[in-house]
Amino acid sequence: MQNTAEVVIIGGGVSGTSLAYYLAAKGIQEIVLLERENIAAGSTGKSAGIITHYFPDPFMTDLDLKAGEILRNFQAQVGAPIDFTKSDYLYLLPHTDILHFKKAVALYKQKGIPVEELSMNEIERLNPAFTSEGVGIAAFVRDAGYADAHSVAMGYAQAAEQEGVKIFRGLGAVGLKTRNGKVRAVITAKGEIETNIIVNAAGPWAKAVGLMAGIELPIKLLRHQAMLFRPPFQIQFQASDLVQKVYFRPETGGYMLVGGGEEDDELTENPDFFNRGADTDLVADLGARMTTRIPAFAESEYITGWSGLLDCTPDWHPLLGKMPGFEKFYIACGFSGHGFHLAPMTGTLLAELIVDGKYKTADATALSVERFHTGPIFRRSFLDT
C-alpha cells in the first residue's frame, strides 16, 4: 500500500481515469487513483455512451466539440478501442419548443456543427416505420455517434497505468485529513495516503466525499433506467424524442437501447442501495411511447433493463475546479448525465488547472461550484428560456 502521493484521485469512472491519464501526460510522477470497486463500476458503466450536442451555450458547445473529436479518435490518441460508431442524431420536439430549438440549431451551425432541420415528410422518409405525430420541429445532427463508456474508462486507466499511475481497485476513501484549508491525507481501509492534492471525482459518491471535508456539494442523485429491446426493424440513427419523452439508439446485434426522460428518474439518497434493475411499469410505459412514434415497435421483444445513478446539479451542468475553502482540493463531479461525452475535456482542463495553475485549453471558471453563490448559473438545456 502506497502511503504518499503527489495527487490522489478519488473515483475510477471516466472522469477520474481521464484526469489520471492527462495528469501523467503532463509529467506528474506520483499519482494514486482510488476506486472503491472496479473501473467504471458506477455511473460510467451504465452510460448509453451517446456522443452528440446537448448544451444551449457557446462555451459548453465548444467543450462538447473538443471532447467529441478526442472520442472519435480515441484509439489513435490513447491507444485503446472503444467501439465508436458514427450515427446521426435526430431531435424531435413539440410545437411549443420551436423557437428555443431554432436558437440551438443556429448556435450549432455557427460552431460548424453539421445540423439540418427536417420537415415532417422527411422524418417519415427516414424510416417507413416512423410517424411525426405531435412533432413541431426536427433536426439531424450529422457528427454524432456512440461508444462503449466502459471501454473509454478502461482505456484511460490502462494508458495511465502504463505511465506509472497507481490504481487501487476495491479501495475507496473513508475519510480525509485537512487543516487550515489544506489537504493532508486521504484515509482508506488500509491506511492513510499523505498528499497535498486531492481530486473528488467520485460520481454518485462525490457528495459524501465533499462532506468528509465539511463541504456540502449541490448534488442530488437520480436513478435513471435504460432498457434493451429487439425490434422487428432496423434503425441506423439515434434519437431524442422530446414529444414522447424517450431516447433510443441502435445496439450491436439488431437491438435497440431505450431510455426515458427526467420525469422518469427517481430521487435516490444512498448510492450504495438502489434498485439496479428496471421497473416493470416503466418498461411497459416506454414501450408504449416508442410504439406511438414507431407503431412497429409494438412487436419488439424486451431483453433486459438496468439502472444507474446521475449526480445532478441544480442547473444540470458539472462542477469543475477547486473545492471552496481549500487550496489544492479539486472537484470533477455533478455531470448530470454528461460525464461520459465530456470526459476528455474534464481530464484535460483539470490537469491544466492542477499543474499549470490555470485553464489553458478553455476557461472553465464558470463551472466552479461558486456559481451557485455568486452567479450566473447555466441554462439547463436548449429548451430553457
pLDDT in tens, 113-165: 999 999 888 888 877 778 899 999 999 999 999 999 999 999 999 999 999 99
Cα(49)–Cα(66) distance, integer angstroms:
16
Residues 362 and 257 in one domain: no
Q: Is residue 379 part of a domain?
A: no
Confidence of residue 382 (pLDDT cuts 50, 70, 90): low
Residues 258 and 294 in one domain: yes
Domain that holds residue 326: 7-47+149-218+315-374
Backbone CA torsion sign across 355, 360, 363, 364? negative
What amino acid is encoded at 355 in this protein?
Answer: V
User: How much is the pLDDT for 185?
Assistant: 97
Q: Is residue 347 part of a domain?
A: yes
Q: What is the pLDDT of residues 46-86, one digit of tens each?
A: 999 999 998 888 999 999 999 999 999 999 999 999 999 99
Question: Would residue 85 be called left, alpha or beta, if left means φ above 0 and alpha means ψ between -120 and 50 degrees?
Answer: beta
Residues 252 and 288 in one domain: yes
Q: How far is CA 284 from the centre of its chain?
A: 26
**CATH code at 251?**
3.30.9.10
Q: Is residue 124 part of a domain?
A: yes
Q: Is residue 263 part of a domain?
A: yes
Q: What is the pLDDT of residues 191-240, one digit of tens each?
A: 999 999 999 999 999 999 999 999 999 999 999 999 999 999 999 899 99
Among 297, 312, 327, the domain-final residue is 312
Instruction: Give the residue carrying C-alpha cell 411549443.
Output: 96
Q: Is residue 66 part of a domain?
A: no
Total number of domains constituting the chain? 2
Cα(209)–Cα(203) distance, integer angstroms:
10
What amino acid is encoded at 9 in this protein?
Answer: I
Residues 14 and 153 in one domain: yes
Residues 176 and 107 in one domain: no
Residues 299 and 239 in one domain: yes
Cα(379)–Cα(363) distance, integer angstroms:
18
Cell numbers describing residue 84: 465508436
Residues 162 and 19 in one domain: yes
Residues 266 and 281 in one domain: yes
Q: Is residue 83 part of a domain?
A: no
pLDDT higher than 70, residue 180: yes
Cα(16)–Cα(35) distance, integer angstroms:
9
Among 294, 312, 330, the domain-final residue is 312
Residues 158 and 241 in one domain: no
**CATH code at 319?**
3.50.50.60
pLDDT (mean) for 177-181: 93
pLDDT (mean) for 262-273: 95
Q: Is residue 169 part of a domain?
A: yes
Residues 322 and 199 in one domain: yes
Of 132, 107, 106, whose CA–CA distance to 118 is shortest? 132
Q: Is residue 32 part of a domain?
A: yes
Residues 307 and 165 in one domain: no
Residues 224 and 211 in one domain: no
Residues 6+ apart with CB under 8 A from 359: 349, 352, 353, 365
